[in-house]
Amino acid sequence: MRQYFAIFILALILVFSSCRTDFDTVASTGDLKFSRDTVYLDTVFKNIGSSTYQLKVYNRSKNDISIPIIQLKKGLSSKYRMTVDGMAGNNGKIFKDVTLLAKDSLYIFIETTADITDANPTDFLYTDEIEFDSGVNLQKVALVTLIQDAVFLYPNQNPDGTKEKIKIEGKDVDGFYLNENDPENGNELIFTKQKPYVIYGYAGVSENKTVIFEAGARVHFHANSGLYIGDKASLQINGTASTTEKLENEVIFEGDRLESLYSDIPGQWKSVLFANGSMNHNINHLTLKNAVVGLDFKNPYNNITIQNTQIYNCVEYGILAQNAQITGENIVINYAGLASLSCVYGGNYKFTHCTFNNNWSTPSQFSVSLSNSLTGAVPESNALAQATFNNCIIYGSSTNEFNLNKNSNSPFVYQLNNCLLKFSSSSTNPLYQFKTDTEHYNNIILNENPKFYKPSENKFNIDKTSAAFAKGNQVYLIPLDILGIARTSPPDLGAYQSQDFPK
């Protein structure tokens, strides 16, 4: 009997619970609140998908509500797509009878893929609206995206469906050689500022060809892509000084994600790789960022000139030089997982008025590393004929930012003149006797703070309070700094002439 009574009570509970109205909804009355009234999806290249952006929708009322419709104003033809609380709706465009509980919220995630022809021809903006409900209860949130036209360079597809490949260091990689008579793009060996360029795979420069980047050129590399300067090929980067922070006259190499989220993420593309036997390279006013290795020199044939160049946020190296000959002036490098500047397997180097810094997040990286050896090479050592640093700053977040790896089987010649250097640990190693070894070190400022303006933002300007102020030697003077500002006498150390910082 007690068993039947218990079943009876359970049945009553189920009946009454099924009659609860806790989750009954009322129609939306147009009182929704939003985390923003306009969603800007940043700039995208034509036909390249954007990142995903978020809109939060709030129900501030005491009632559970039903929103009859959430839709894009342009409907199924819209180039935007959404998910609403994880639901895909009708092709990501139209959602019906969406429930939103009292004092609760829901998330809408928005993306776009649009062509330049979809945008307004006067301002290249593609716009739409998210509509909530209709009639007197209609509420809207605007969507805005800037669509940027570009020249796209990529490997062709072979008849068998595979991609075109080129050989780099003995390996076949997705890539193509730039064509000076391309039927669609014209001369692909000359990069202008008329449109940005987007490169997929490795863009190669073939033997006896020269690739030229004119002032203001913008080059965006897709993931795992890069630029390959082949045997007997040359690179000429002809940027000039800019007058604004937009760097309008710089040549800029970076990834192809334009959203602000990606502005400082390392490793978005591979490298500018200089092959064994490449020759006659001149680089002026280049800004390169977010690569794996920025400039990668593998036994180039003759001298390389690098001037007024900035390299940031590389997973491994800013500059990796293997048995190279480099003359560098007004170079700034920061954030590299292994070393900002690494010169291996010997070579011949002269750097003047450069700022080598490394604020990578681990304690094991260097700003400058020099070596006359290379693991696995035959022979494994090679002469470091010269490595001279004049009026430079070598600094960063590690205890020691200067590394020497000497193999006694080959010459190892180096000298630092009027440099600010961070090397905080005491060492009995004869390579690091900064105060007593006058053959290798002259007028070294050791472990004093250069007081960079904003190093976390890659702004390495200094002012009169810096330990690098007026500590340079006039003998090594480069008349203009990296910004084109005249240096005073005696000059400051590093790539920047001192100025008063903005208040």
Indicate whether 17 pLDDT > 60: no
Pick from 113-117, 258-262, 368-372, 463-467: least confident: 258-262
User: What does each C-alpha distance from 247 to 165, 192, 234, 438 come to in angstroms?
Assistant: 34, 15, 24, 41
Indicate whether 39 pLDDT > 60: yes
Q: What is the pLDDT of residues 269-283, one digit of tens each?
A: 999 999 999 999 999
Indicate whether 15 pLDDT > 80: no
DSSP state of 262: G
Angle at 124 between CA 120 and CA 127, to 5 degrees: 60
How many whole angstroms separate alpha carbon 193 and alpha carbon 214?
7
How many whole angstroms separate alpha carbon 433 and alpha carbon 421?
12
Q: What is the DSSP secondary-structure string of 315-340?
A: SSEEEEEEEEEEEEEEEEEEEESSEE
SS3 state of residue 454: strand
The residue among 405 and 3 whose pLDDT is bigger is 405
Q: What is the pLDDT of residues 82-102, one digit of tens each?
A: 999 999 999 999 999 999 999
Mean of pLDDT values over 61-76: 95
Domain positions in the chain are 26-148, 151-476
pLDDT on residue 3? 52
Contact 359, 455 (CB under 8 A): yes
Q: What is the pLDDT of residues 473-495, one digit of tens each?
A: 999 999 999 999 999 999 999 99
CATH of domain 26-148: 2.60.40.10
How many whole angstroms separate alpha carbon 241 and alpha carbon 156?
36
